[in-house]
Amino acid sequence: MATKAYDIVTINLIDGEEVDLTPLKIKYLREFMEIFDLMSAAQNDEQAIRILSECGRVCMKQYKPSIKTIEDFEDNIDMPTLYKILEAAAGIQIKNPEENIKEQATDSGETWDDLDLAKLESEVFLLGIWKSYEELEKSISMPELVLTLGAKRDLDYQEKKFLAAMQGVDLDKQSGKSDAWEEMKSRVFSGGQTSDPNDIISYQGSKASKAGFGIGMGLEYEKL
Protein backbone atom coordinates (compact mmCIF):
# COMPACT_ATOMS: atom_id res chain seq x y z
CA MET A 1 0.00 0.00 0.00
CA ALA A 2 1.38 3.41 -0.98
CA THR A 3 1.99 5.87 1.84
CA LYS A 4 2.64 9.59 2.02
CA ALA A 5 3.93 11.96 4.65
CA TYR A 6 1.18 14.55 4.13
CA ASP A 7 -1.58 15.71 1.81
CA ILE A 8 -1.01 18.42 -0.79
CA VAL A 9 -3.76 21.05 -0.75
CA THR A 10 -4.37 23.31 -3.76
CA ILE A 11 -5.79 26.81 -3.29
CA ASN A 12 -6.69 29.59 -5.69
CA LEU A 13 -5.48 33.15 -5.26
CA ILE A 14 -7.87 36.03 -5.92
CA ASP A 15 -6.71 36.16 -9.57
CA GLY A 16 -7.36 32.43 -10.00
CA GLU A 17 -3.73 31.26 -9.86
CA GLU A 18 -3.34 27.83 -8.27
CA VAL A 19 -0.85 27.33 -5.43
CA ASP A 20 0.01 23.99 -3.81
CA LEU A 21 0.29 23.85 -0.02
CA THR A 22 2.34 21.43 2.07
CA PRO A 23 3.40 21.56 5.75
CA LEU A 24 5.84 24.38 6.40
CA LYS A 25 9.53 23.62 6.38
CA ILE A 26 10.97 23.98 9.88
CA LYS A 27 12.74 27.25 8.98
CA TYR A 28 9.42 28.93 8.21
CA LEU A 29 7.52 27.07 10.92
CA ARG A 30 9.82 28.66 13.52
CA GLU A 31 8.95 32.16 12.28
CA PHE A 32 5.28 31.19 12.01
CA MET A 33 5.18 29.99 15.62
CA GLU A 34 6.90 33.13 16.93
CA ILE A 35 4.03 35.16 15.50
CA PHE A 36 1.37 32.63 16.47
CA ASP A 37 2.52 32.82 20.10
CA LEU A 38 1.17 36.40 20.13
CA MET A 39 -2.33 34.90 19.90
CA SER A 40 -2.43 34.54 23.69
CA ALA A 41 -2.51 38.35 23.96
CA ALA A 42 -5.30 38.87 21.39
CA GLN A 43 -8.25 40.70 22.95
CA ASN A 44 -10.82 40.05 20.22
CA ASP A 45 -11.40 38.35 16.87
CA GLU A 46 -10.10 41.36 14.95
CA GLN A 47 -6.73 41.11 16.67
CA ALA A 48 -6.72 37.32 16.30
CA ILE A 49 -7.36 37.56 12.56
CA ARG A 50 -4.58 40.16 12.21
CA ILE A 51 -2.14 37.73 13.86
CA LEU A 52 -3.31 34.83 11.70
CA SER A 53 -2.88 36.99 8.59
CA GLU A 54 0.73 37.67 9.62
CA CYS A 55 1.18 33.91 10.01
CA GLY A 56 -0.25 33.47 6.53
CA ARG A 57 2.18 36.04 5.16
CA VAL A 58 5.07 33.97 6.57
CA CYS A 59 3.66 30.92 4.78
CA MET A 60 3.96 32.75 1.47
CA LYS A 61 7.76 32.67 1.84
CA GLN A 62 7.44 28.98 1.00
CA TYR A 63 4.30 28.90 -1.14
CA LYS A 64 4.46 32.15 -3.15
CA PRO A 65 7.62 34.24 -2.47
CA SER A 66 6.40 37.11 -4.65
CA ILE A 67 3.79 37.87 -1.94
CA LYS A 68 5.99 39.70 0.56
CA THR A 69 3.97 42.27 2.50
CA ILE A 70 0.77 41.99 4.48
CA GLU A 71 -0.81 44.28 1.87
CA ASP A 72 0.20 41.87 -0.91
CA PHE A 73 -1.18 39.01 1.13
CA GLU A 74 -4.54 40.64 1.76
CA ASP A 75 -4.82 41.58 -1.93
CA ASN A 76 -4.36 37.95 -2.98
CA ILE A 77 -5.98 35.88 -0.21
CA ASP A 78 -9.56 35.85 1.08
CA MET A 79 -10.52 34.62 4.55
CA PRO A 80 -11.65 31.06 3.61
CA THR A 81 -8.35 30.62 1.76
CA LEU A 82 -6.40 31.93 4.77
CA TYR A 83 -7.97 29.22 6.91
CA LYS A 84 -6.94 26.55 4.37
CA ILE A 85 -3.38 27.89 4.42
CA LEU A 86 -3.18 27.79 8.23
CA GLU A 87 -4.42 24.20 8.36
CA ALA A 88 -2.09 22.94 5.63
CA ALA A 89 0.92 24.84 6.99
CA ALA A 90 0.67 24.10 10.72
CA GLY A 91 -2.52 22.17 11.47
CA ILE A 92 -4.41 25.23 12.75
CA GLN A 93 -8.12 24.75 12.14
CA ILE A 94 -10.81 27.43 12.05
CA LYS A 95 -13.96 25.39 11.49
CA ASN A 96 -16.50 28.07 12.29
CA PRO A 97 -15.48 31.68 11.48
CA GLU A 98 -18.57 32.90 13.35
CA GLU A 99 -17.30 31.59 16.68
CA ASN A 100 -14.29 32.53 18.84
CA ILE A 101 -11.36 32.65 16.37
CA LYS A 102 -8.67 32.85 19.06
CA GLU A 103 -10.01 29.82 20.94
CA GLN A 104 -10.32 27.70 17.79
CA ALA A 105 -6.80 28.59 16.64
CA THR A 106 -5.05 27.99 19.96
CA ASP A 107 -6.93 24.72 20.56
CA SER A 108 -5.84 23.18 17.26
CA GLY A 109 -2.36 24.53 16.52
CA GLU A 110 0.92 22.69 16.93
CA THR A 111 3.14 23.62 19.84
CA TRP A 112 6.82 23.43 20.72
CA ASP A 113 5.91 22.36 24.27
CA ASP A 114 7.72 19.19 25.40
CA LEU A 115 9.50 19.00 22.03
CA ASP A 116 13.30 19.06 22.05
CA LEU A 117 13.60 20.08 18.40
CA ALA A 118 17.36 20.68 18.61
CA LYS A 119 17.90 17.11 19.80
CA LEU A 120 15.69 15.67 17.04
CA GLU A 121 17.47 17.72 14.40
CA SER A 122 20.86 16.64 15.77
CA GLU A 123 19.86 13.00 15.40
CA VAL A 124 18.66 13.31 11.81
CA PHE A 125 21.65 15.53 10.93
CA LEU A 126 23.88 12.50 11.53
CA LEU A 127 22.50 11.01 8.32
CA GLY A 128 24.96 13.30 6.54
CA ILE A 129 22.47 14.60 3.97
CA TRP A 130 22.66 18.28 4.92
CA LYS A 131 25.71 20.55 5.14
CA SER A 132 24.30 22.66 7.98
CA TYR A 133 21.32 22.86 10.30
CA GLU A 134 20.07 25.85 8.34
CA GLU A 135 20.01 23.74 5.18
CA LEU A 136 18.22 20.98 7.08
CA GLU A 137 15.51 23.37 8.33
CA LYS A 138 15.02 24.76 4.81
CA SER A 139 14.61 21.26 3.41
CA ILE A 140 12.37 19.38 5.81
CA SER A 141 9.01 19.81 7.54
CA MET A 142 7.97 18.36 10.89
CA PRO A 143 6.08 15.38 9.34
CA GLU A 144 9.12 14.66 7.16
CA LEU A 145 11.45 14.96 10.17
CA VAL A 146 9.30 12.54 12.15
CA LEU A 147 9.14 9.98 9.35
CA THR A 148 12.88 10.23 8.68
CA LEU A 149 13.72 9.77 12.35
CA GLY A 150 11.23 6.93 12.63
CA ALA A 151 12.88 5.07 9.74
CA LYS A 152 16.36 5.71 11.18
CA ARG A 153 15.36 4.52 14.64
CA ASP A 154 13.64 1.44 13.25
CA LEU A 155 16.79 0.50 11.32
CA ASP A 156 18.98 1.09 14.38
CA TYR A 157 16.64 -1.02 16.52
CA GLN A 158 16.57 -3.89 14.00
CA GLU A 159 20.36 -3.92 13.92
CA LYS A 160 20.53 -4.03 17.73
CA LYS A 161 17.85 -6.70 17.79
CA PHE A 162 19.86 -8.87 15.37
CA LEU A 163 23.07 -8.49 17.38
CA ALA A 164 21.20 -9.27 20.60
CA ALA A 165 19.63 -12.37 19.03
CA MET A 166 23.12 -13.60 18.12
CA GLN A 167 23.79 -13.65 21.86
CA GLY A 168 20.50 -15.34 22.69
CA VAL A 169 18.76 -12.18 23.93
CA ASP A 170 15.20 -11.27 22.94
CA LEU A 171 15.42 -7.50 22.74
CA ASP A 172 11.67 -7.09 22.21
CA LYS A 173 11.00 -8.48 25.69
CA GLN A 174 13.71 -6.45 27.43
CA SER A 175 13.14 -3.05 25.87
CA GLY A 176 10.17 -1.13 24.49
CA LYS A 177 9.73 1.65 22.03
CA SER A 178 10.02 5.16 23.48
CA ASP A 179 6.65 6.35 24.73
CA ALA A 180 7.78 9.97 24.37
CA TRP A 181 8.69 9.33 20.74
CA GLU A 182 5.32 7.75 19.98
CA GLU A 183 3.52 10.65 21.70
CA MET A 184 5.49 13.21 19.69
CA LYS A 185 4.62 11.43 16.43
CA SER A 186 0.96 11.43 17.40
CA ARG A 187 1.06 15.19 18.09
CA VAL A 188 2.59 15.91 14.69
CA PHE A 189 0.28 13.71 12.63
CA SER A 190 -2.87 14.78 14.49
CA GLY A 191 -2.06 18.49 14.07
CA GLY A 192 -1.38 18.88 17.79
CA GLN A 193 -4.77 17.51 18.81
CA THR A 194 -3.52 14.45 20.72
CA SER A 195 -0.36 12.89 22.12
CA ASP A 196 -2.01 9.48 22.62
CA PRO A 197 -0.72 7.10 19.91
CA ASN A 198 -3.91 5.04 20.34
CA ASP A 199 -6.27 8.00 19.90
CA ILE A 200 -8.22 7.60 16.67
CA ILE A 201 -7.43 11.15 15.51
CA SER A 202 -3.73 10.28 15.39
CA TYR A 203 -4.54 7.80 12.61
CA GLN A 204 -4.02 10.14 9.68
CA GLY A 205 -1.66 10.32 6.70
CA SER A 206 1.03 7.64 6.56
CA LYS A 207 0.07 6.22 9.97
CA ALA A 208 -3.46 5.60 8.69
CA SER A 209 -2.11 4.03 5.52
CA LYS A 210 0.12 1.66 7.49
CA ALA A 211 -2.78 0.67 9.71
CA GLY A 212 -5.07 0.20 6.70
CA PHE A 213 -7.65 2.69 7.94
CA GLY A 214 -7.91 6.16 9.38
CA ILE A 215 -9.30 9.66 9.05
CA GLY A 216 -9.92 10.41 5.39
CA MET A 217 -9.93 6.69 4.51
CA GLY A 218 -13.59 5.94 5.08
CA LEU A 219 -13.50 6.54 8.82
CA GLU A 220 -14.83 9.75 10.33
CA TYR A 221 -14.92 11.08 13.89
CA GLU A 222 -16.57 13.80 15.89
CA LYS A 223 -14.60 15.85 18.45
CA LEU A 224 -16.80 16.23 21.55
pLDDT at 1: 43
pLDDT at 187: 65
Mean pLDDT for 24-41 is 92
pLDDT at 218: 44
pLDDT at 167: 78
Instruction: Answer whether 75's CB lies under 8 Å from 56's CB.
Output: no
Q: Secondary structure of the chain: what % helix, strand, coil (to 5)?
A: 55, 5, 40
Instruction: Answer whether 88's CB lies under 8 Å from 9's CB.
Output: yes
Q: How far apart are CA 109 and CA 93, in angstroms?
A: 7
Mean pLDDT for 27-32 is 94
Indicate if the pLDDT at residue 143 is higher than 70: yes
pTM score? 0.70
Q: How far apart are CA 116 and CA 196, in angstroms?
A: 18
pLDDT at 7: 86
* pLDDT bucket at 162, cuts 50 / 70 / 90: confident
Phi-psi region of 94 (alpha: psi -120 to 50; beta: other; left: phi over 0): beta
